[in-house]
Amino acid sequence: MQREEPRIGAPDLSEIDFRRGENRNIPAHRPGYNLWWQIAVGVFIALMAHSMVWGVYARWEANEAMKELNAEMAKEAAALERQMRAIQAQATHPTDNRPWPTSTRVPSPPLRDGERCIKGERFRRVENGWEHLPRQPC
């Protein structure tokens, strides 16, 4: 086998294919075709669907809470009604005819020498003033 030496000369360009500046990986632009509009519409529809589902759930939960609250209020109203009827029955049919006690206050001892009663309070005269006696009302 003989070795071929490289030749310096004009290259043969007949087999070389030059591209025209087109990138074949990017699809051709069609008039009226905007991908960002499709993305925006898709996001809008997704958000609307999410809002509708969330609104239905919130309304259902509020209805359940109102039903529970109404049931508790009815139970409490019935209990109050029973208490009111019992109080009315006692008021119309007194069980005790004894008169109410007039006073539970113990009579106070009389004032001693040097004591005074001022606005219902007992005071004793001491050197240079008065001493308050709170446990001995007059």
Is the Cβ–Cβ distance between 136 and 122 less than 8 Å? yes
Calculate mean pLDDT across residues 60-79: 97
CA-based torsion, 124, 126, 130, 133: positive or negative? negative
pLDDT of residue 37: 87
Calculate mean pLDDT across residues 58-68: 97
pLDDT of residue 48: 98
d(C-alpha 40, C-alpha 99), whole Å: 86
The identity of residue 71, as a single letter, is A
Contact residues for 135 (Cβ-Cβ < 8 A; gap 6+)? none
pLDDT tens by residue, 5-56: 877 777 777 777 776 665 566 666 666 667 888 899 999 999 999 999 999 9
Q: Is 50 exposed, middle or buried (0-12, 13-18, 19+ CB in 10 A)?
A: exposed
d(C-alpha 34, C-alpha 75), whole Å: 63
pLDDT of residue 29: 61
Is the Cβ–Cβ distance between 123 and 111 less than 8 Å? no
pLDDT tens by residue, 72-128: 999 999 999 999 998 888 877 666 666 666 766 667 788 888 898 888 888 999 999
Buried b (16+ CB within 10 A) or exposed e, 102-122: eeeeeeeeeeeeebeeeeeeb
pLDDT of residue 14: 78
pLDDT of residue 26: 61
